[in-house]
Copies of this chain bind each other. A is one copy, B any other.
Amino acid sequence: MRLTRRYSFSASHRLHAGVLSDAENESLFGKCNNPFGHGHNYVLEVSVTGEPDGFAGMVVPRGKLDDFVGRTALDRIDHADLNNDVKELREIVPTTENLSLLVHRWLNSAWDAEFGDDGARLDRVRIEETARNSCEVTG
């Protein structure tokens, strides 16, 4: 059984790879390489597998999960500029792929301390950048 919570956040970013020339960056990233950046209303989905406990019928308490995702991930990226405000993204390009890997790493590394006793496992992190573009990290 898999429970999924859906969150949203707004952020700006610029796709620009330091190791590439300006012409290569523009060719590869197109408008996403514009110098002052742009932004998105992102969607973040966090999926958890487990069994509902016998008395409350929940894989994981909603409030506990929301609070954890807020502290561990959303507070760092909501209403932020990904290139400037998120130190892990200063040296790498803030694509949906890299952002998904980062959010998964944040949640995964803090997971056991928080949910180790609940038997609920982090199953998937999915980020939607636009209706046309999304990325999932499983495990």
Contacts and interface: CB of A to CB of B under 8 A. Distances in A.
Interface in A46-90: 52, 55-59, 61-63, 78-81, 83-85
Q: Give the interface size class of chain A.
A: 35 or more
Interface of A: 1-8, 10-13, 17, 19-20, 28-32, 34, 36-41, 52, 55-59, 61-63, 78-81, 83-85, 92-98, 100-101, 130-138
- Report how many copies the assembly holds: 6
A104 to B, nearest CB: 9
30 contacts: A1-B97, A1-B101, A1-B136, A1-B137, A2-B138, A3-B96, A3-B133, A4-B136, A6-B131, A6-B132, A10-B40, A11-B38, A12-B37, A12-B81, A13-B39, A20-B56, A30-B63, A31-B78, A32-B79, A38-B80, A38-B81, A39-B39, A41-B130, A41-B131, A52-B95, A52-B98, A52-B101, A57-B97, A57-B98, A59-B97
